[in-house]
Amino acid sequence: MEFLQNTWYFAAWGADIEPGKLFARTLLGKPLVFFRPSGGAVVALDDRCAHRAAPLSMGRLDGDRVVCGYHGLEFDGSGACVRNPHPSGRIPAAARVRSYPVVERHTGLWIWLGDEAADPALIPDFSKLDDTGPSVTRRDHMVMDAAYDLIVDNLLDCSHTSFLHEGILGNQPMIAAPTEVRQSGRTLNVIRTARNVPPPGMFDMLFRQDGAPVDCWTDFRWDPPSCLLLDVGVTPPGRPKEEGTGYFGTHILTPETERTTHYQFAATRWNIRAGSETEEMRQKISDLRRFAFEEQDEPMIRAQQRIIDLTPPHELKRVLLETDAGVVHWRRIIDEMIAAERRPSERLAVGA
Ligand code: FES
């Protein structure tokens, strides 16, 4: 699988990188080590010592230097070797590891792994996460045992909620909702609204808790390569959104390898109903969402991945349903961007 390189990927939640500690994570098949120097800005280096390729994450931090745990070479935040503890003290010119641009924004760490200049203005807007108060659920993370593209497909075809998440996030009457796609530059919105339907369990819990019919919408924003923000909620039938409640669900995917994916998620509530602003409710929403992703989505997508891997490519003819409109769009855009990356002069033209 080919990944887009010149783009921002979500590396980790900012809180994952604790002062004085090394943090290892593999992104796009590349082992990386992160740390937070005393100056505050997080550093990302290849997790591979220049001497004999030992993972630097198995060493230790000495101030703002990483000390390799194998033979003791020391590297600074730029990746330069700054100390050889052995008798000559000589530092070979090639003794350095690659460092990568990192920006801490919206409580997450964004990393640029490509060779082009990194422009922080290209980081998608996840300012819904800026609120560090109780309206945001747990900032969560899991690794899914499947390629990232199958998970984007899952998210951009929300009709699966009527089957895979029936009772929690969807139900059978919601199947009737049409799928609409809007494109603005490289950003997509995939929108479905189910009218006058029973409320899915999660939203009955957040709204009136009486099972009375609602209009229920999902509006999934996708930004390349795999950054998704879901506007989801319920309101009384025929009434404006403002009379209902819901949340902005963050779903940010970063390939770990070709067949595994980091899934970062949280939810930012709005119009929180009186009595449901408690820590207990916050935990309940966090747990329910994790259950849906970990116990319902992940086993299905993992099994789907296994079947795809066992099937000869010429037998993988897939039919399209009307609910696949968003899937078709995002795949077309990302394929164009990856193709343009092979032809640098075309890069700026794609989706502009
Ligand atoms: Fe790091 Fe030898 S492998 S110093």
Q: List the CATH number of the domain containing 198.
A: 3.90.380.10
- Is the model's pLDDT at 6 over the cut of 80? yes
- Does 342 fall in a domain? no
| Residues above pLDDT 90, as percent of the chain | 93
**Which DSSP state fits 167?**
T
- Does 2 fall in a domain? no
- Does 248 fall in a domain? yes
Torsion of CA 10, 278, 235, 180, to 10 degrees: 10
Averaged pLDDT, 63-86: 98
- 147 and 246 share a domain? yes
Instruction: Give the pLDDT score at 93.
Output: 96
Provide the domain limits for residue 293.
127-337
Encoded tokens for 58: 């198995």
- 185 and 331 share a domain? yes
| Residues above pLDDT 70, as percent of the chain | 97
Smallest CA-to-CA distance from 250 within 337, 89, 137, 84 is with 137
**What type of residue is 252?**
I
Between the CA of 69 and the centroid of ligand 1 the distance, in Å, is 7
- Is the model's pLDDT at 351 over the cut of 50? no
- Is the model's pLDDT at 26 over the cut of 90? yes
CA–CA distances in Å: residue 314 to residues 50, 192, 307, 310, 318: 43, 33, 14, 12, 11
- Does 136 fall in a domain? yes
Ligand 1 proximal residues by C-beta, below 6 Å: 49, 51-52, 54, 68, 70-73
Residues in a beta bridge with 166: 170
- Does 350 fall in a domain? no
> What is the CA angle 344-347-349, rounded to 5?
135
- Does 323 fall in a domain? yes
- Does 3 fall in a domain? no
Give the number of the atom of ligand 1 that is nearest the alpha carbon of residue 73. 4
Instruction: Give the pLDDT score at 346.
Output: 59
In sequence order, what E strands does the chain have?
A: 8-13, 23-27, 30-35, 43-46, 60-62, 65-67, 74-75, 81-83, 99-100, 102-105, 108-112, 140-144, 179-184, 187-197, 214-223, 227-235, 245-257, 260-270
Contact 197, 342 (CB under 8 A): no
Nearest CA, atom 3, ligand 1: 52
Q: Is 19 helix (H, G, I), strand (E, B) or coil?
A: coil
Give the number of the atom of ligand 1 that is nearest the alpha carbon of residue 49. 1
- 77 CB-near residues (< 8 Å, 6+ apart): 35, 37, 43, 45, 64, 99
- 143 and 105 share a domain? no
From its phi and psi, is residue 127 left (phi > 0), alpha (psi between -120 and 50) or beta?
A: alpha
Dist CA 330 CA 318 (whole Å): 16
Q: How many domains does the chain have?
A: 2
Point out the least confidently predicted range of 57-61, 131-135, 281-285: 131-135
Averaged pLDDT, 152-174: 97
Nearest CA, atom 4, ligand 1: 71
- Is the model's pLDDT at 345 over the cut of 90? no
Of 96, 122, 148, the position where a domain reaches its end is: 122
Instruction: Give the pLDDT score at 343.
Output: 82
CATH code of 78's domain: 2.102.10.10
CA–CA distances in Å: residue 259 to residues 12, 142, 146, 331, 347: 19, 14, 5, 17, 27
Instruction: Give the pLDDT score at 275.
Output: 87
Residue-wise burial string across 220-251, b where 16 or more C-beta atoms lie within 10 A, e elsewhere: bbbbbbbbbbbbbbbbeeeeebeebbbbbbbb
Instruction: Give the pLDDT score at 110.
Output: 98
Kindly report, residue by residue over 267-293, the tens digit of the pLDDT: 999 999 998 889 999 999 999 999 999
Kindly report, residue by residue over 329-342, the tens digit of the pLDDT: 999 999 999 999 98
When pLDDT is cut at 50, 70 and 90, the band that residue 301 belongs to is very high
When pLDDT is cut at 50, 70 and 90, the band that residue 328 belongs to is very high
